[in-house]
Amino acid sequence: MTASNHLLEVRNVETHYGKIIALRGVDLTVDRGEIVSLIGANGAGKSTLMMTICGTPQASSGQVIYDGEDITRMPTHLIMRKSIAQSPEGRRIFPRMSVMENLIMGAEMAGNHDLEAGLQRAFDLFPRLKERRNQRGGTLSGGEQQMLAIARALMSNPRLLLLDEPSLGLAPLIVKQIFDAIRDLNQSDGLTVFLVEQNAYHALKLAHRAYVMVNGKITMSGTGKELLAREDVQAAYLEGGRH
Amino acid sequence: MSAKSENLFMVSLKDAAAGGAVALALFGVLIGMKAEVASGLGGQLGIEYRWAAVAIAVAIVFGGRLLLNLFVWKTDKPVTATAKGFLPSAKPLAKLGKYAMPVFLILAVVLPFLLMSAYGSRGSRQYLDLAILVTTYVMLGWGLNIVVGLAGLLDLGYVAFYAVGAYSYALLAQYFGFSFWICLPLAGILAAFWGIILGFPVLRLRGDYLAIVTLAFGEIIRVVLLNWYDFTGGPDGISGIPRPSFFGIEFERGPGGFADTFGLEYNSIHRIIFLYYLILIMALVTNFVTMRLRKLPVGRAWEALREDEIACRSLGINTTHTKLTAFALGAMFGGFAGSFFATRQGFISPESFTFIESAVILAIVVLGGLGSQIGVVIAAVVMIGGFEFFRGLEEYRMLVFGLLMVVIMVWKPRGLISTRMPSITLSGKKAKGISADLVQEGHG
């Protein structure tokens, strides 16, 4: 693959929280049209990497390149207006606002004014949201909230979708629904997806390529299938984790 | 008596006895002994013992605690639930909210004429004054509602902007002889400017921490006004603030005055009515601007910011700008209200801008239901009007007032009007209010 095919490139990134180092020189690429998963244990630095890409906190050294442009020092709100969308960890929908308003929040700041088309796409992807469109976000179930978080991120018509733990706290059946939707988006719309997950089995099965992070460093990488087959990965992340 | 209730009685008795013992130890010294200049001892200090008073105090503590234990604290049903039973259901109020807006508006517009016909021009003056006061607080409540209700930034120093507005007008009038109509926008701009000044350092703060800093800011403004004697007159305040004119026509007796120009008989009530309509229009403008902004991206960003700041950033919202616009706009309306206050009173001093004012305005917003415009109106009428209404109760007024607030919060924990209208729906459909009942407290 040529360098120009990288949509997102993380080069030797280090991130600190005060004096504590969270990322120790991470290298990672996401190519156009790919689903890339990052798996790792609690506290490995997965979410920190995700947030460093978004600019909160900013990397203390190294570079984050999006679509050929260095976004390492860019303020978060400008990064998020660059056809990058994120569904944050813990869903973080707006509980008092209606489902419709939640969705519109996703479109407004990114400058996507074709609301009708965006809403149509969201409701096609998750019909449940259409039924619930006038309900408060806070009254949705966990799975519906996750759907809403993803749909809200998609409203900006992104080229790169960042998903932070979409399976968090959800029933296996709902997890399957969500992951099917992600695969669908990738296959039909060509959406590039970067996924951070603890649910290693689903994440590896879904991904074209994947990385394993331990203690702020990437320790393994390969195709999803390769990593799934490796014994050390199975021992560390998949014991009893297969739903 | 069943075993359970007997047990409850014993536990309560023990607890009450312990309370009584503590009370005895405390009151034995505090109430029981009184140092006095005894007359019989030639002006020396003596101690007077008052054991009867101690016995009464201890008995009150013991009995009160026993009763509270038996009937309030240790019962299966919490007392708030019991109290709720006595109050009417909150449901009809949501419907009331729908019709309240036009009814209130019409009532507000015809109020001076209603009062005039009922009490005559002399008798209606005090009611008009009260109406002006209430409307001022409605406007302040609406202004603060932008900051607290919509953007979710707890501001305990809102009165600072009220003070900035009032002093802006008073000082500009005193030093440069500017009229009210020139000063009104200037006061708003200056207050908004101070809103931004306050906004910058507190951008990273939220919740309790933000509240403390805004509280300090409110006090700083007041203390500066109090101590900068050469400029602000300090505790003496500023007097002789010019009254507003009717677009250049003064409210005076004689030729060229308001009454003369419009062929009316001179009456001092004209100015009061004019002031009433002035604040009413100012308040309605505040409401109109807020309602419009709510439907625009910036207004939705405020509400989103109240809900979840991290989610906002992930959606590309510039949280810095969003917070600053909320602070600046809220402050601006506070400033407008402040300059109205100055022109109405004709005299201002730092005493009018104490923390209790901030607290009252915040209470109006919270009691009315955070983010609800009509809720603010009802709360302002109840709080400010009620405060005047209970004037006859003299020293029990604060007690009644406090009790009223507690009752409202027990009855409707999210404020009088907790239904929120979505700012947008599918095209062509009428917006339907969403009740807060199903949302966890603190999450909506």
According to the model, what pLDDT value does residue B97 have? 57
| Domain-located, residue A232 | yes
What is the distance in angstroms between the Cα of A197 and the nearest Cα belonging to chain B?
18
pLDDT higher than threshold 70 for residue A177: yes
Q: Do B422 and A156 touch (CB under 8 A)?
A: no
pTM for this one? Answer: 0.82
Task: Mark which residues 86-105 of B lie under 8 Å from A by CB.
Answer: none
**Cα(B443)–Cα(A184) distance, rounded to whole angstroms?**
33
Residue A3 vs residue B316, higher pLDDT: B316
Contact B441/A at CB under 8 A = no
Tell me the pLDDT band of A51, cut-offs 50, 70 and 90. very high
- Considering only CB atoms, A134 lies closest to which of B307, B313, B422, namely B422
Residue A113, pLDDT above cutoff 90: no
Question: Token pair 């932070």 is at which residue?
Answer: A164
ipTM of the complex: 0.89
The residue-averaged pLDDT of A79-86 equals 93
Q: Please give the DSSP secondary-structure letter assigned to residue A190.
A: -
Note whether residue A116 is domain-resident: no
pLDDT at A10: 96
Looking at residue B182, what is its pLDDT? 92
Say if residue A31's pLDDT is above 90.
yes
- Domain annotation covers residue A27: yes
- Residues from chain A that touch B443, judged by Cβ atoms under 8 A, are 95-96, 138
Helices B159-176 and B207-227 cross at an angle (nearest 10°) of: 30
3-state class percentages of chain B: helix first, strand second, coil last, to nearest 5: 70, 5, 25
The reply to whether A149 falls in a domain is no
Q: How many domains does chain A have?
A: 1
Q: Which domain holds residue A240?
A: 1-83+160-165+195-243
Which of B304, B427, B438 faces A105 most closely, judged by CB atoms? B304
State the maximum Cα–Cα separation within chain A, in Å, rounded to a whole number.
49
Domain boundaries, chain B: 3-76, 91-411
Q: Flag if A95 and B303 touch (Cβ within 8 Å).
A: no
Conformational region of residue B120, where left means phi above 0, alpha means psi within -120 to 50, and beta covers everything else: left
Secondary structure letter of residue B127 according to DSSP: H
Q: Which parts of chain B register pLDDT below 70? A: 1-5, 38-43, 74-98, 394, 425-444
Let me know if residue A136 belongs to a domain: no
Task: Using the structure block, give the residue that is written with the tokens 């906004």.
Answer: B199
Flag whether A127 is in a domain. no
| Mean model confidence pLDDT for chain A | 91
pLDDT in tens, A194-239: 999 998 999 999 999 999 999 999 999 999 999 999 988 888 887 6
d(CA A64, CA B181): 54
Q: Contact B313/A100, CB-based, under 8 Å?
A: no
> At A61, which CATH number?
3.40.50.300
Q: Are A29 and A5 in contact (CB under 8 A)?
A: no
pLDDT reported for residue B442: 42
